[in-house]
Amino acid sequence: MSTRLANQGRLINTDKAVSFTFNGRHLRGFEGDTLASALLANDQMLVGRSFKYHRPRGVVASGAEEPNGLVNLGKGATFEPNQRVTTTEVFEGLTATSQNHWPSLEFDVGAINTHLSRFLPAGFYYKMFMYPRSFWKHVYEPIIRKSAGLGKAPKDRDQDTYEHFHAHVDVLIVGGGIAGLAAALAAGERGARVLLIEQTAHWGGRAVVDTPEIDGMPAQEWVNTTVQALESMKNVDLRLRCMGAGVYDHGYALAYERLTDHQPDADGPRHRLWRVRATQIVTATGAIERPLSFAANDLPGVLLASAVRDYVVNFGVSVGDRTVVVTNNDDAYRTAIALKKAGLDVPAIVDARSEVEGDLIDQARALGIRIELGKGIAKVKGGKRVTGVALCSQAGQGAVLEEIECDCVAMSGGWSPVVHLWSHCGGKLNWDADQAMFRPDPERAPTGADGEGFVITAGTANGHLFTAEAVSDGWAAGRAAAKAAGHNKRGGQAPMGLDAAEGPISPVWLMPQGASHALRSKAWLDFQNDVKVSDVQLAAQEGFESVEHAKRYTTLGMATDQGKLSNINGLAILSQSLSADIPNVGTTTFRPPYTPISMASIAGVARDALFQPIRKTPVSDWANANGADNEPVGQWRRPYAYLRPGEDVHQAVNREVKNARDNLGLLDASTLGKLIVKGPDAGRFLDMMYTNMMSTLPVGKCRYGLMCTENGFLMDDGVVARMSEDTWLCHTTTGGAERIHGHMEDWLQCEWWDWNVYVANVTEQYAQIAVVGPNARKVLRKLGGMDVSAEALPFMQWADGKIGEFDARVFRISFSGELSYEIAVPAGQGAAFWDALLEAGAEFGVMPYGTEALHIMRAEKGFIMIGDETDGTVIPQDLNLQWALSKKKEDYLGKRAHSRSHMADPNRWKLVGLLTEDGSVLPDGAYAIADGKNENGQGNTQGRVTSTYYSPTLEKGIAMGLVHNGPDRMGEVIEFNKVDGGTLRAKIVDPVFYDKEGEKQNV
């Protein structure tokens, strides 16, 4: 059984017990425990089920590489699935439940899959679910969806807060082991601004477990001394529980700091996402031990040798009473030695190598541990946990030589440097055959803006598995990084490490070498996704020779651990199956993040009201307090209609339209773009920007203008007013303000930079209110101030002055067809001006109206709307706007494009009005049906609806649409598709439905 040992464990505080629950069971651990160590201390070996076969799963590792120990953590507003038990620190009141099983962890119905496993090989889903075709939608997909996914998605809102932080440093060092610490020391001493981050809660990495000597001190003492020295440096920032998640272009890196996961009652954000810009990055990310592939290596109780050692040394937890160590290298002997020294039984070290020599072997022998050379594991015995191992000759096919009783197997297949961060932005790898590992090629580092490498790798991450090499490599990396960042101050000395002498590793990718198919189909590579040696071999046999294809076919390395344990072993099996060298097969691509980071940390503060900016006009507060039913227009929220008590939206819209036509309406038009264009060449410039002539517009007058892109399509429209000899004010659509401002600057800065024109976006300087309806003039006269008579201020003119006590610029323009004034006042006076209009307008029947009433009134008048009648494929000619295309101008944006053959084609669809025969409203976007079918067998079309409304004025549906030869087909009836499948007949008519002569607006 797994249990806590007395008086051991360097990281736990046995004076402080913490209680927590696992699947409802109350358990106790100590402060300093991880959830994994605390579960093991309570003999909770079984922690979950595998993804495909629902096999029992126990903890296999002790760090971020753990593939099995994934649990649901927390409840309600703190619930989170797929949390790794090895990286979760226990705290008082922690609640965890296991996942991926039903009805219980101990008894799981899905485990039937393991008995069907020979019918569920790699690629099973691809082969099985192809036929019959209709089964996919109705049978396969619903079932697969139900069983897909790991853990449950949270249901409640997350109660915690999250934030980002932008840090700019000379040197970012990822990894707080001895190499990272040495790098920080070297870079810090040179005066560089350093950020050193470590994903765990402790400095020192593996060295403090394996206890080599550095600078004549035990590793722990050296780590303490070094951290103290770093903390006293003002230019060095040290962060624990902060993981290097990704390395990106030009020294950008993401670091994921977990601030309160281990103390959930603490104040402040739970996670902080560091958005780092580093001149140089040192990846001292360590190495990960590889499992060995032998039959039933997935049973709970089979762990990495280093993990077994970690649990004893760090947490005083023995995974088993009797542990068999199986290895192909010397390092695993440390585990046997550590266990023996802790008073535990090690019945044998099973070493695949036939000859061994070194300090660790001598030590093991001296402790009386039996060493079996040239041997392998034929299979592990047991059901839900290990009960023993069967030994065989490594060179053979698995004939059992002997069985040994044990309750734990500690395996080591050698070490793989953590090259993820090195590789994220393009760092390349070399295969080191002597050490059987991929390691970074310093000649092919990720390159930065200067074309030089910006990532330096150090320590075991660089393939230096021994302390002396690792610590001096770290120091050299720190020094080089500081230098590359411009810090050359001399000083300090590289730390000196001392190692035990070790013999060479012998690569072992399968145990035994000639394992039968029966053994290979029980030899796991990917513990979470249930990929076995036989699956990868099958993939190779079926032609999935590219490592990227084999990965996707078998799902090897596609689990939440992204193959940290499985990839190299799987790759080696694949290369053997293909009779190719490992480096020729290559690795799959390493992609960020290193381990999953919370979605909330990516969002940071951007949630709820801060999810995105909501733009407000000076009238927005009044609107929101007075029934506004808002619609998003870009980041603005514009009232669609102002609802009165008891009204629905349609009733409100109809009331608003009628009232504006009969009495007096107010529209908050503040969101419309307002651009000042000024300079001696402003007229000439606007003549290029607009299709019509703006340079000839007299001062004091307004003109409606169209803008096209260079490829001829309509991009914006609006009223232009001439302010003075050299100044124009251009109104844009609400969505167009920033875009058209940028568009103008683009042409001024990049094409006509010798023209003297300045543009300023003054959109938000003004609140702009449209005062609309037969009573518009009356209300303005009542407020007093400037002369707004037809004589003093005729249609399509503007004037500055006072309306009441307000500084006003009044435009006689109309988008409704009614008598209309658009009045701009400084935004700071906007709310008061709105109030004044409401108050003075009361006797004239004033009502505010929203965007839907605006749309209906303009459609009744046949005015086009950018975004309704236009969609990026429509040219002015399509909308019968030839009158706005200047024939006098030699050039304007879009002019050349209008003579392209397709643009000049007489067969383009053109704007018409549409009236249904029964008065109903045409569906928005509906297509007009034409005879015959196209080459894809679809019905032909001859037009489409661009705007469609119920007109309260005409008391029936009205629509505008683009129809083939439309203007020549007045009176013809065509059919439109309805959403529910039927059709609707509509007559082609003039698009101006109301006051065609414009008598109402020009009074």
Asked if 606 touches other proteins (CB under 8 A), the answer is yes
SS3 per residue for 544-606: CCCHHHHHHHHCCCCCCCCCCCCHHHHHHHHHHHCCCCHHHHCCCCCCCCCCCCCHHHHHCCC
Return the residue of 14, 23, 95, 161 that touches other proteins, per CB under 8 A.
Answer: 161
Report yes or no: 320 and 301 within 8 Å, Cβ to Cβ: yes
Window contacting other proteins (CB under 8 A); options: 401-409, 462-470, 602-610, 931-939: 602-610
SS (H, E, C) 463-521: CCCCHHHHHHHHHHHHHHHHHHCCCCCCCCCCCCEECCCCCCCCCCCCCCCCCCHHHHC
> Which x/- pattern over 446-465 shows residues binding other proteins (rule: CB under 8 A)?
-xxxxx--------------
Judged by CB under 8 A, the chain residues 506 through 535 that form the site for other proteins are none
Omega before residue 592 within 30° of 0, cis: no
Query: Does residue 357 touch other proteins according to CB under 8 A?
Result: no
Q: Residues 221 to 240: which contact other proteins by CB under 8 A?
A: 231-232, 234, 237
Q: Using CB under 8 A, which residues numbered 627 to 686 contact other proteins? A: 635-636, 676, 678-680
Residue 250 or 944 with smaller CB distance to other proteins: 250
Binding footprint of other proteins, residue count (CB under 8 A): 84
Nearest approach in angstroms of CB 852 to other proteins is 22
Among 269, 427, 557, 735, binds other proteins (CB under 8 A): 269
- Supply the minimum distance, in Å, between the C-beta of residue 865 and other proteins: 22
| Nearer of residues 10 and 900 to other proteins, judged by Cβ | 900
Terminal CA-CA length for the chain: 96
23 binds other proteins (CB under 8 A): no
In angstroms, the CA 246 to CA 775 distance is 64
CA–CA separation, 389 vs 860, rounded Å? 86
Which of 10, 127, 152, 277 is close enough to bind other proteins by CB under 8 A?
A: 277
Nearest residue (CB) to other proteins, 472 versus 670: 670
Q: Report the half-sphere exposure of 398 (CA within 13 A, side-chain side).
A: 18
User: Which residue lies nearer to other proteins by CB, 899 or 938?
Assistant: 899
Minimum Å distance from CB 881 to other proteins?
19
Piece of 263-271, 307-315, 469-477, 714-722 that binds other proteins (CB under 8 A): 263-271
| Secondary structure in 3-state letters for 369-403 | CCEEECEEEEEEEECCCEEEEEEEECCCCCCCCEE
Residue among 25, 118, 168, 978 that touches other proteins (CB under 8 A): 168
Minimum distance, C-beta of residue 268 to other proteins, in the bound complex (Å): 5
- The binding track of 824-843 with respect to other proteins, each residue x by CB under 8 A or -, is -xxxxx-xxx--x-------
Kindly tell me which of 164 and 658 has the beta carbon lying closer to other proteins: 164
Residues 84-103 that bind other proteins (CB under 8 A): none
Query: Residue 630 Cβ, how far from other proteins at the closest point, in Å?
Result: 14
Task: Pick out residues in 361-400 that bind other proteins (CB under 8 A).
Answer: none
Map the footprint of other proteins across residues 789-818, applying CB under 8 A.
804-807
DSSP-derived letter for residue 647 is -
CB 14 within 8 A of CB 3: no
3 state DSSP class of 760: strand
Cα–Cα dist 917/899, whole Å? 38
Binding residue (CB under 8 A) for other proteins from 127, 165, 263, 493: 165
Q: Which residue in 338, 294, 285 sits closest to 315, CA to CA?
A: 338
Which of 250, 552, 658, 964 is in the footprint of other proteins by CB under 8 A?
Answer: 250
CB of 762 to other proteins, least distance (A): 6
CB of 377 to other proteins, least distance (A): 47
Cα–Cα dist 544/442, whole Å: 31
Q: Which is nearer to other proteins, 525 or 677 (CB)?
A: 677
Interaction between residue 625 and other proteins (CB under 8 A): no
Q: What is the largest CA-CA distance in the chain?
A: 114
Question: What is the footprint of other proteins within residues 411-450 (CB under 8 A)?
Answer: 447-450
Window of 23-31, 266-274, 521-529, 640-648 that interacts with other proteins by CB under 8 A? 266-274
Residue indicated by tokens 């994994």: 36
* Candidate segments 95-103, 244-252, 430-438, 785-793, binder of other proteins by CB under 8 A: 244-252
Decide: helix, strand or coil at residue 963: strand
- Residue among 137, 166, 490, 887 that touches other proteins (CB under 8 A): 166
Interaction residues for other proteins, span 192-211 (CB under 8 A): 193
Which residue, 172 or 364, has its beta carbon nearer to other proteins? 172
Residue 277 CB, nearest distance to other proteins (Å)? Answer: 7
- Note whether 267 binds other proteins by CB under 8 A: yes
**Which is closer to other proteins, CB of 95 or CB of 447?**
447
Q: How far is the CB of 561 from other proteins (least distance, A)?
A: 26
Taking each helix axis as running N to C, give the angle between helix 567-577 and helix 547-554, from 0 to 180 degrees, rounded to the nearest 10.
110
One of 202, 262, 275, 782 touching other proteins (CB under 8 A):
275
- Beta strand 194-197 pairing with 236-239: parallel
List, as one string, the DSSP characters of 149-187.
SSS----SPP---EEEEEEEEEEEEE--BHHHHHHHHHH
Residues 222 and 177: beta-carbon distance below 8 Å:
no
Stretch 39-78 residues interacting with other proteins (CB under 8 A):
none
> Which region among 383-391, 432-440, 608-616, 906-914 touches other proteins (by CB under 8 A)?
608-616
CB of 448 to other proteins, least distance (A): 7
Site for other proteins in 691-720 (CB under 8 A): 710-711
- Rounded CA separation 274/199 (Å): 13
Q: Which helix (H) or strand (E) covers residue 207, if one does?
A: helix 207-210
Burial readout 548-575 (b: 16 or more C-beta within 10 A, e: otherwise) = eebbbbbbbbbbbbbbbbbbbbbbbbbb
How many Cβ atoms from other residues are within 10 Å of residue 764's Cβ? Answer: 15
Contact pattern for other proteins over residues 723 through 762, marking x by CB under 8 A: -------------------x--xx--xxx-x--x-xxx-x
Token pair recorded at residue 452: 């030089």
Of the candidates 766, 702, 763, the one whose C-alpha atom is nearest the C-alpha of residue 732 is 763
Among 130, 605, 904, 1003, binds other proteins (CB under 8 A): 605
Q: Does 106 bind other proteins (CB under 8 A)?
A: no
Structure tokens that stand for 108 in this block: 């799981």
Taking the least distance from each CB to other proteins, the nearer of 102 and 165 is: 165
Footprint (CB under 8 A) of other proteins, residues 887-906: 890-891, 895-897, 899-901
- Which range touches other proteins (CB under 8 A), out of 416-424, 472-480, 534-542, 613-621? 613-621
Q: Is 237 or 716 the residue whose CB approaches other proteins more closely? A: 237
The C-alpha atoms of residue 331 and residue 607 are separated, in whole angstroms, by: 48
Reference 470, options 417, 407, 523, 393; nearest CA is: 417
Q: Please identify which residue in 104, 493, 612, 873 interacts with other proteins, judged by CB under 8 A.
A: 612
Nearest Cα residue to 184 out of 170, 198, 199, 194: 194
User: Environment class of residue 612 by beta-carbon count within 10 Å: exposed (0-12), middle (13-18) or buried (19+)?
Assistant: exposed
* DSSP at 360: H
Give the three-state DSSP class for 442. helix
